[in-house]
Amino acid sequence: MAERRIKNGMRDGWGLRVTSVAMLVGAGLAAWWQGPIDAPEPEPTEQTRETKVRDVDAAAFTSAQVGDCLTWDIADDGAVSNFTVVGCDEEHRYEVADRVDLRNVEEWVGQFDEDAPEPDQDTLLQLRDWVCQDPVLEYMDGKLDPMGRFVPAPILPPSKSWADGDRTMLCGLQPTAPDGTPAQATGRAAEQDQANVVQVGECVALDDSGGLQPIECAEPHLLEAVGLVDLRATFPDRTPTIEEQNEHLNQACVAAAEEYLGGNEALYQSTLLPFWMTISPESYDAGTHSVNCWLMKDNGYGGFSSLAGSAKGPFTINGEPKVDPPPRNPLREDGAPQPQQTAPGAGAPTGSVDGQNATGY
């Protein structure tokens, strides 16, 4: 690893301390994950988006079985239509894990007899967390990363069917984007990488819940994605330790940043730093195997500077044009580089902090 750093004009990687690890791992996306509930119902603390099947789509809802994949159209006002069963190898919005008769759920969850009104948003959250969680986990053979892109979600029958006494609820998996909004997937969830990642070239900021939200790079942001690394390519038959991930990603993310910007000198001149986040062993075992490589700028106080504009073009740091770094020492004639100067604002070598890393140069 030391040879790689020298070859790329790198010094030892330095850890980046941030105010809250939860800011970066998207704490809001994991709020649905709760352990066994023995106490009375807590007050729901988050909102959920309801997939409201229209009455004309009742036949598709009724025919949906465990293992089926579903899709639907969403209008600008959020209205759902054309609810239908599709092949799981096609793009879809949902995978059915169970069909639940709500008349059989425990009374402390709720009572859904013939006269019961349709569940409201708070009740849907309770049904998601307390009724759908176990069958979804069983469907996935226990391998579901609560920090990943697939989340348990309930779907209720159409209003007319509910009024006619249908108390069937579908429990299943809904793919989400990094900011937690519903997305689409191709292929069965159990066969996919559950990593919540973005495409190379996308930028992310923090949303109101502290999660990562994709945003136009022209807008203020914290990170710009320069690579996507599937750790299974390097660790095909075992779960890598955090130290092993850091050692591999230190090389992979520097290389990705150089390729993204056009070489080592371009990376140095940008004054930005390669950055990555590791995967916990629990998440890796549950099905999350990929991480993004990012570019970021530390603020000199253990946090992030605000960037605006892509690193590939003109950009600002905290609203100001970047300051060019000092000239680097020339290479020796024998090809071995001289010790390199550090770009302004780079932190002191400290190692890894909380599974997050940035590499200075």
Pick the range with the lowest mean pLDDT from 9-13, 145-149, 151-155, 341-345.
Answer: 9-13
pLDDT digits (tens, 9 = 90+) for 138-178: 999 999 999 999 999 999 998 889 999 999 999 999 999 88
User: In this predicted structure, what is the pLDDT of residue 300?
Assistant: 86
DSSP 302: S
CA 147, 149, 150, 151 torsion-angle sign = positive
Cβ atoms of residues 309 and 218 within 8 Å: yes
Q: Which of 118, 183, 193 is nearest to 156 (CA)?
A: 118
pLDDT digits (tens, 9 = 90+) for 264-273: 999 999 999 9
User: In this predicted structure, what is the pLDDT of residue 227?
Assistant: 98
Q: Which residues contact 27 (CB under 8 A, 6 or more apart)?
A: 209, 210, 211
Instruction: Give the pLDDT band of residue 43 (cuts 50, 70, 90).
Output: very low
User: In this predicted structure, what is the pLDDT of residue 358?
Assistant: 65
Instruction: Choose between 332 and 168: higher pLDDT.
Output: 168
Cross-strand partners of 185: 92
Q: Which of 180, 178, 182 is nearest to 155 (CA)?
A: 182
Lookup result for tokens 């879809």: 92
Instruction: Give the pLDDT band of residue 78 (cuts 50, 70, 90).
Output: confident
Across the range 17-36, mean pLDDT stands at 26
Q: Looking at the predicted structure, is the pLDDT value of residue 301 above 90?
A: no
The count of other CB atoms within 10 Å of the CB of residue 73 is 11
User: In this predicted structure, what is the pLDDT of residue 239?
Assistant: 97
Q: For all residues of the chain together, what is the average pLDDT?
A: 80
Structure tokens at 321: 């044009």
Pick the range with the lowest mean pLDDT from 31-40, 142-151, 215-224, 321-330.
Answer: 31-40
Q: Which of 195, 265, 231 is nearest to 25 (CA)?
A: 195
Q: Looking at the predicted structure, is the pLDDT value of residue 11 above 60?
A: no
Q: Give the helix ranges, DSSP H, for 186-344.
A: 242-261, 264-270, 281-286
Percent of the chain with pLDDT over 70: 76
The DSSP element (H or E) to which 347 belongs, if any, is: none
User: In this predicted structure, what is the pLDDT of residue 8?
Assistant: 28
Distance CA 211, CA 21 (A): 11
Pick the range with the lowest mean pLDDT from 237-241, 243-247, 310-314, 336-340.
Answer: 336-340
Q: What is the DSSP string of 37-73?
A: --SSPPPP-S-----B--GGGHHHHHH--TT-EEEEE
Q: Are strands 203-206 and 168-175 parallel, antiparallel or unpaired?
A: unpaired
Distance CA 32, CA 124 (A): 12
pTM reported for the whole predicted model: 0.74
Instruction: Choose between 335 and 34: higher pLDDT.
Output: 335
